[in-house]
Amino acid sequence: MTAHDATTKRGYATTEAATYIGRSASWLRKKRLRGADDPGDPGPRYLKTDGGSAIYLKEDLDAWLDSLAAQAPAARVAA
């Protein structure tokens, strides 16, 4: 995925989404398989295509990242 793709592309395959959020593709697959039964973070929202492939929308990946940032403790800045 090039820098240009990241700014113009809206839907990501599992491997592309994993790269975008800094996780592994296997982590995303596990989150999809476990679904609501997975304790803690359910992972980003995804869509299924008619062929059964998972597609992650950029806005859903960004929303998931934003939710993690909101839950994280505030960073301390050295004086």
Copy the structure tokens of residue 9: 């592309």
Helices (H) and strands (E) in the chain, counts: 4, 3
Taking only the tens place, the pLDDT of each residue in 32-69 is 998 777 777 889 999 999 999 999 999 999 999 998 88
pLDDT of residue 71: 80
For 10-66, CATH number out of 3.90.950.20, 3.40.50.300, 3.30.70.1140, 1.10.1660.10 equals 1.10.1660.10
C-alpha count within 13 angstroms, C-beta hemisphere, residue 49: 10
Domain ranges, ordered by start, for the chain: 10-66
Q: Is the pTM of this model over 0.75?
A: yes
Residue 15 confidence (pLDDT): 97
Question: In this model, does residue 18 exceed pLDDT 70?
Answer: yes
What type of residue sits at position 65?
L
